[in-house]
Amino acid sequence: MRYFISILALMVLVPSCQYETVQMDEFEVHGIDVSHYQAQINWDTIADQHVAFGFVKATEGATHVDTLFCRNWSEMERVGIKRGAYHFFRPQTSPVSQAQNFIQQVQMKDGDLPPVLDVEVKGDVSKRRLVDAVRTWMIIVESRYDIKPILYTNVKFYNRYLAGHFDDYPVWIARYNTREPRLAGGRQWDFWQYGNKGLINGIDGYVDFNVFQGNLLELEDFCKPPAQVYSYAD
């Protein structure tokens, strides 16, 4: 009997993992994140569906560049979607080389979202070395673009390795659930990736769904501001 119940429970749980991500209408500002895995995206169609922002993979490690980054980056600007670029971090690779890889590929403009560092794996490094490497990347990139980068990770990884070390940087948290992320120390999230099985016209297959903690005006304030121009009276 116990064996039968276990099988039945498994039958119930497996299909639940395949459920489509339902858009959270209680939030005002919605977005997606993409990479070459989404193949050719029809950005005109995406823009017609109240997608306010999008993050796109640019680079990974010291040398890798996403094959569709340039196309996605320019298309998002053309259709008027707030765009942000992210780098997938490899802890055992020089953070300086990784920052240089990102900087060489990403040309930011006024009104773009801050750069993003995607930290999901620890590799064979200590927690201290991981934190130091992440901080090095963030400092270099912040210096180059004159805006604080966003730190992306999932709830468990943040709470275990990163909590308390990057409180002065915005955070984008992955938690595939209908309940909001709960971060160590009561930290509030800025962006929330709440599902990875979203369906939207313009993309064949699944895409990650995200929300911003705020309204459209606050999203605008979150973006890279125009450079200050000073004038001096005689």
pLDDT (mean) for 219-227: 90
Is residue 131's pLDDT more than 70?
yes
CA proximity to 184, closest of 167, 196, 200, 168 = 167
Where in the chain are the domains?
Answer: 31-221
CATH architecture of 31-221: Alpha-Beta Barrel (3.20)
Is residue 11's pLDDT more than 70?
no
Supply the angle between the helices 127-145 and 95-105 in degrees, to the nearest 10: 30
75: part of which helix (H) or strand (E)? helix 69-79
pLDDT (mean) for 4-33: 67
> Can you tell me whether residue 112 is helix, strand or coil?
coil
Confidence of residue 9 (pLDDT cuts 50, 70, 90): very low
CB atoms within 10 A of CB 124: 7
Residues that are catalytic: 33, 120
CA distance 211 to 195: 10
Beta strands in 35-149 (DSSP E): 53-60, 64-65, 82-88, 116-118
Q: The tokens 């001096």 sit on which residue?
A: 232
